[in-house]
Structure 1
Amino acid sequence: MNVRAPDTPGARRPSVSRAPRRPWSGLAGAPAAVVLMVLAGVVAEVGAAAAWWAPDVLPAPSDLLPAAARIAGSPRFWQDALRTGAELLLSCVFGVVAGLGLGVAFWKAPGAGRVFEPYLVSFYAVPLVLFYPIAIVLIGINQWSVVVLASIMTAIPMTLNTWTGLRAIPPVYLRLAASIGCSRSQTLFRVALPAAAPYVVAGLRLGVAYALIGTVAMEFTTAQAGLGYQVRYLYESFDAVGMYAYILVIVAVSVLLTAVLEIAERLLPRGRDT
């Protein structure tokens, strides 16, 4: 929200020059990460060639990359990728909507928020994959048991970050909205949530990361399809090259999602003119 003092006749406004913000400026450490990954790949290649470890412990990158390309061209991979992607998308949608609603509800009813906050924080230390057998009993052996638990993992950081962001809004914003006759919905969607947007997007980043972790972990446990299931199947089949190739694909997806969300977060304005 921009609040400006009225112009005074004859007064000169000082010109303020600001450097343009670039959404990719926070990715300045990416080259260093690439260098570290290349060095790790070289060490892994040399170690495998020198037989410092068994090939089934850590295959050489020269074997992993062709295996990953071969896997990416197989129809089974795309079936598993579509299932994991659908579970991840549903988990993010349900978790973000639920977390956003709970965060707003706790902001409106701070007493309830203070009661539930310790329990939500404690859930960070609880691996929700332990509740997967209960979800199977209640929901069944299908993808919805994965979606429900991954949605809960997404909703927790979304709730806490949304509530924190709304509590950090300067009171003058809300008083100004009330003075110009904004309704409750206008105050929420045009003043409160935009002001708390950096916190909300930070919660979204954490929620997506937890959703991916939960989806793959629960597929790895007992699912019969998905990228996590394929990692477990190849592990039990002693196919180390294929297993690491799938892990490489999952890591690439995680890095891509993190980069996209970080750019989206940096597109949000961090300061406001007064």
Structure 2
Amino acid sequence: MGDATFSGIATTILVALLAVLCEIGPRAGWWGEEVLPSTSSIVASAADLLGQPQFWGDAARTSLEIGLSIVFGSVLGLLLGLVFWKLPTVGRIFEPYLVSFYAVPMVLFYPLAIVVVGINASSVVILATIMATIPVALNTTVGLNGIRPVYLKLARSLQCSPRQLLTSIALPAAAPFIVAGLRLGVVYALIGSIAMEFVTAQAGLGYRIRYLYEIFDNQTMFAYIFVVLVVSMILTALLVAVEKLLVKGRTQ
């Protein structure tokens, strides 16, 4: 059994056990429905959301924010990684600050984002893009700096152009690190978009969860949370599949 298959089976079993526990808990009186509704009631509420225009409006806004954050974060991260690789001095200067910045909660920059762009989707996209850019840049830098020198010597002996060196040698050699960085970037774009909507948005899935919490509508709130969890699991599965295809193509 491969690692991916084992991980998928283990995850499925854990999720199933958690769903059974959440179903039994309220029925057995371990906790009340107002604390954590049963699995069946959460799934039923989530199904009801699919017929509500408000839900689709929130989902469309959050999807747009996540998509833009992924695109901008991936492009900026790859560019920064290439700059740090081609200009090692610049990399040594700025990489420690980038690592330190990685540990700073982006919500701290919420007041600055409001002043610069206002309370709208742009502030969410900017902060989520920053969160997605950092892991992509760091992993790209590590991957490119770890290229075996013999590959670069071979490129010089064959008189490869800079474009050929980049596309035919550097990027394929660093592909495992770059793909891992892109996976982290996508995850952080999702986390950043949802989290920033809690404090900076007037619409979106994150905003709706906070609003439902404030009005004590736990049933619908957990339905929204369930939808976000399902989307994140699907997105993670797609990323794993894409990574396997890229790595398989690289080995072939």
| Residue of structure 2 equivalent to 1:125 | 103
Question: Are residue 147 (structure 1) and residue 112 (structure 2) matched?
Answer: no
1:41 corresponds to: 19
Does the 8 A contact of 1:104 with 1:163 survive in 2? yes
Partner in structure 1 of residue 76 of structure 2: 98
Post-superposition CA distance 1:60-86 (Å, at most 9, x none): 111101100001221111111111111
Aligned to 2:141: 163
Please list every run of 5 or more consecutive structure 2 residues that lacks an aligned counterpart in the other structure. none
2:237 is aligned to 259
Deviation of 1:130 after TM superposition, in Å, equals 1.5
Letter in 1 for 2:213: Y
Whether the 8 Å contact between 1:173 and 1:191 is mirrored in structure 2 is yes
Gaps of 5+ in 1: 1-21
Classify the secondary structure of the residue corresponding to 2:102.
Answer: helix
1:54 CA displacement:
2.2
Q: 1:247 to 1:272 in 2, by over 3 A?
A: closer
Amino acid paired to 2:234: L
Contact 1:129–1:214 (Cα < 8 Å) also in 2: no
* Partner-residue secondary structure (3-state), 2:246: coil
Greater fraction of residues in helix: 2
Counterpart position of 1:30: 8
Secondary structure, aligned partner of 1:141: coil
Count of equivalent residues: 251
Q: Structure 1 residue 57: deviation in Å?
A: 1.1
Residue 109 of structure 1, CA deviation: 0.8
Note closer, same or farther for the CA distance 1:188–1:64 as it changes in structure 2 (3 Å cut): same
Q: CA deviation at 1:268?
A: 2.5
CA positional deviation for 1:25: 5.9
* Equivalent in the alignment of 1:186: 164
- The whole-number CA distance in structure 2 between the counterparts of 1:70 and 1:139 is 35
Q: Is the 8 A contact 2:26 2:32 kept in 1?
A: yes
Does the alignment pair 1:241 with 2:219? yes
Structure number with bigger Rg: 1
Give the superposition deviation at 1:32.
2.1
Confirm or deny: 8 A CA contact 1:220 1:232 kept in the other structure: yes
The aligned counterpart of 1:72 is: 50
Q: CA deviation at 1:262?
A: 1.1
Shift of residue 131, structure 1, vs aligned partner: 0.7
After TM superposition, the runs of 4+ consecutive aligned structure 1 residues lying more than 4 A away are 270-273
Alignment TM-score, normalising by the size of structure 2: 0.95
State yes or no: 1:222 paired with 2:231: no
Distance in 1 separating the partners of 2:97 and 2:35: 40
